[in-house]
Amino acid sequence: MGQEKKLLNLDEICMSRRQFVKGVAMGGVLLGMGLSPVRLLAATGSSAGQPTLSGKDFNLTIAPQAVNYTGRERMATAVNGSVPGPILRWREGDRVTLKVTNHLAESSSIHWHGILLPTGMDGVPDISFDGIAPGETFRYQFELKQSGTYWYHSHSGFQEQTGLYGPLIVEPREPEPFSYDRDYVVMLSDWSDENPDTIYAKLKKSSGYYNFAERTVGDLTRDIQQKGLARTWSERSMWNQMRMSDRDLSDVTGYTYTFLMNGQTPADGWTGLFKRDEKIRLRIINGSAMSFFDVRIPGLTMTVVAADGQNIEPVTVDEFRIGVAETYDVVVAPKDDRAYCIFAQALDRTGYARGTLTPDSSLTVEVPEFDPYPILSHQDMGMDMSSMEGMNHGLSGDMNGMGKMKGMNHDMSGSNDSMDDLFEKDMSGQAGHGSNAEIVHAATEFGPHVDARAEHPQFRLDDPGVGLRNNGRRVLSYADLRNLYQTSDPREPGREIQLHLTGNMARYMWSINGVKYADAEPLRFKYGERLRITFVNDTMMNHPMHLHGMWSELETGDGLQIPRKHTVIVQPGSKISYLVTADAMGGWAYHCHLLYHMPGMFRKVVVS
């Protein structure tokens, strides 16, 4: 990368991106009819609908497909000729059969994200099956034990980045516990004209390759004016000594990404129609490879009714952050005959995806301005804020009943104990309330492959995250999530496994407990046991951690109604705990869902 390119400021980059995404989207098409199974009202979108397949038997093909999102034709990886792939609608209790044929020149796969099924049907090469060889057909077959909003994607190489993903809806056998008139899928994703192998190679050479928001002389001048020379010098010295940046938010940004909503670019946008006073269900899915989005609909509140496909006690918010691989179902009720913008800005504010809810396809609405660029704090580094005067960043120390754990972390750097040995006998913390166990760094976490360790990680469940704190809007946090039903397995955990999310950002090396996947032994769960997983994030990145085959029951301070998730976001410099019932025999993948972190931040789980 040339020096001249690095000197471009963020406004110039954003303007460049706005011009850049005005190409015609050939691969994606508008999500069309938003028909509710509750009330079959006529609801036609603004153009032909994204393909929808329903029933029990499906024939799917994986093949190259020409697309044009930016004014330049590129080859994508499509399912049945569509990017995103067709919406699959199943029904709880049915036994579905999917024959997937691979027309690529390389092996492929489909993983049914969040669906509970036998290990051989999970679709992860080298763990649950061999993959689908070129020209071959694999037959998936399994019974549906759940309902809700999910998605599917490739688990082979970087194919997910090139378009192999799609929405997945499982209709419930019983009526929904909430009402709505229209039902729309809103799938967010990120597209690059660059080959994903090229993106990965650039990150390995320079982890900040796509980050154009680093501090400038102007920023330094403003900091001195606002904070004074002494404080500014102290803060900058600390970051410089750590050789880290407080603007290290996203590895891959809008410089190369075009952000899509249902396959539509920001220039075109997706459109969903409604009639005044109707209730509209939006099934929002983050099917991106690397991008977090902050989602809001100016002029409308959103009632969150489900998280990761599971019904929760309804929570009304103005905005929420959706991490890679998460899903949220929200219900909105427009009271006016006007258009509303569904605005999904990337966490790093380098771009956005957008849609329009409108009673008339001829009506338009202004796209909101970006929020200010988020700045990481020392709290996001897991530092002890009680010893840093004047550094209050608006975070409470007692979060949703979990403040009793504050101050119980001890840095036992250099311990030679393995994590499994450590927590096999050391169990603490009531079910639903998280871990009281001390934080221990294993010997494997020390060396050039790990460039940071959080000295004082805290549970931050009521922290919506950097860029959303105290922004004047009601923002969803994990502390708001409460299962609509009672916890199905009320047992106390019998043991605890502590996993540290580690890496060296400069070298773009990612790992768990300082050990990359290629060198790691499997994690072993005992069939039928109830155990606790505690993640400690020693990095400055958000990590969406996904356990295949079993629910991750997030401990938010209430053991009676523990919310179930398939993907859990671990914020920078924080810790988080959840319970797992090991009720699925066999081998399972367990990994960060950021695509370019996955090669290292990955484990195999064996339940036996």
How does DSSP classify residue 124?
-
Query: Does a cis peptide bond (omega within 30 degrees of 0) precede residue 196?
Result: no
Asked if pLDDT for residue 244 goes beyond 50, the answer is yes
200-to-126, 204, 210, 509, 596 alpha-carbon distances in Å: 22, 6, 11, 11, 7
Asked if pLDDT for residue 126 goes beyond 80, the answer is yes
* 6 three-class SS: helix
Asked if pLDDT for residue 213 goes beyond 90, the answer is no
Distance CA 347, CA 345 (A): 6
Distance CA 355, CA 201 (A): 33
Per residue in 382-391, pLDDT (tens digit) is 655 554 443 3
The answer to whether the beta carbons of residues 190 and 176 sit under 8 Å apart is no
Q: What is the pLDDT of residue 275?
A: 96
E strand map for 92-181: 95-102, 111-113, 137-143, 148-153, 165-171
Residue 260: in which H helix or E strand, if any?
strand 257-261
Q: What is the pLDDT of residue 233?
A: 54
Asked if pLDDT for residue 214 goes beyond 60, the answer is no
For the sheet with 87-91, list strands across it: 52-54, 87-91, 165-171, 148-153, 111-113
Distance CA 161, CA 596 (A): 10
How much is the average pLDDT of 247-276?
A: 94
Distance CA 53, CA 190 (A): 24
How does DSSP classify residue 370?
P
Distance CA 524, CA 605 (A): 6
Per residue in 317-354, pLDDT (tens digit) is 999 999 999 999 999 999 999 999 999 999 999 999 99
Residue partners of 84: CB distance under 8 A and separation at least 6: 28, 50, 163, 165, 166, 167, 187, 189, 262, 263, 287
Closest C-alpha among 317, 305, 283 to residue 563: 305
HSE-up of residue 176 (Cα within 13 Å, Cβ side): 25
Distance CA 537, CA 49 (A): 41
E strand map for 318-388: 319-322, 327-332, 340-346, 352-358
pLDDT-derived band at 455, boundaries 50, 70, 90: confident
Distance CA 318, CA 299 (A): 9
Closest C-alpha among 561, 531, 543 to residue 500: 543
Q: What is the pLDDT of residue 374?
A: 87
Asked if pLDDT for residue 187 goes beyond 60, the answer is yes
Per residue in 40-57, pLDDT (tens digit) is 222 333 334 689 999 999
Per residue in 287-305, pLDDT (tens digit) is 999 999 999 999 999 999 9
* Lookup: tokens for 329: 């179902």
Asked if pLDDT for residue 241 goes beyond 80, the answer is no
Q: What is the pLDDT of residue 368?
A: 96
Q: What is the pLDDT of residue 31?
A: 32
- State the distance between the two ends of the chain, measured CA to CA, in whole angstroms: 50
Q: What is the pLDDT of residue 456?
A: 87
Q: What is the pLDDT of residue 231?
A: 64
Per residue in 10-24, pLDDT (tens digit) is 333 333 433 333 333
For the sheet with 95-102, list strands across it: 74-79, 57-67, 95-102, 137-143
Q: What is the pLDDT of residue 582?
A: 98
* Lookup: tokens for 601: 């931040």
Distance CA 208, CA 508 (A): 9
Distance CA 246, CA 234 (A): 14
Residue showing tokens 């020409």 = 66
How much is the average pLDDT of 176-197?
A: 98
Distance CA 514, CA 445 (A): 4
Backbone phi, psi, residue 320, to 5°: -150, 155
Distance CA 100, CA 185 (A): 23
Per residue in 138-160, pLDDT (tens digit) is 999 999 999 999 999 999 999 99
Q: What is the pLDDT of residue 7?
A: 33
pLDDT-derived band at 249, boundaries 50, 70, 90: confident
pLDDT-derived band at 379, boundaries 50, 70, 90: low
Q: What is the pLDDT of residue 223?
A: 62
H, E, C per residue of 531-589 = EEEEEEECCCCCEEEEECCCCEEECCCCCCCCCEECEEEECCCEEEEEEEECCCCEEEE
Q: For all residues of the chain together, what is the average pLDDT?
A: 85
HSE-up of residue 322 (Cα within 13 Å, Cβ side): 29
How much is the average pLDDT of 164-183?
A: 98
pLDDT-derived band at 228, boundaries 50, 70, 90: confident
Residue showing tokens 């320079």 = 206
Distance CA 441, CA 57 (A): 49
* Lookup: tokens for 81: 């000729």
* Lookup: tokens for 606: 């064996």
Per residue in 479-531, pLDDT (tens digit) is 999 999 999 999 999 999 999 999 998 899 999 999 999 999 999 999 999 99
Distance CA 151, CA 254 (A): 24
133-to-130, 136, 168, 225 alpha-carbon distances in Å: 8, 5, 24, 62
82-to-25, 156, 263 alpha-carbon distances in Å: 12, 18, 9
pLDDT above 90 coverage of the chain, percent: 73
Per residue in 489-502, pLDDT (tens digit) is 999 999 999 999 99
Residue partners of 552: CB distance under 8 A and separation at least 6: 533, 545, 564, 565, 566, 567, 568, 578, 579, 580
Asked if pLDDT for residue 421 goes beyond 80, the answer is no
Q: What is the pLDDT of residue 215?
A: 52
Q: What is the pLDDT of residue 242?
A: 52
Q: What is the pLDDT of residue 248?
A: 73
Residue showing tokens 């034990």 = 145
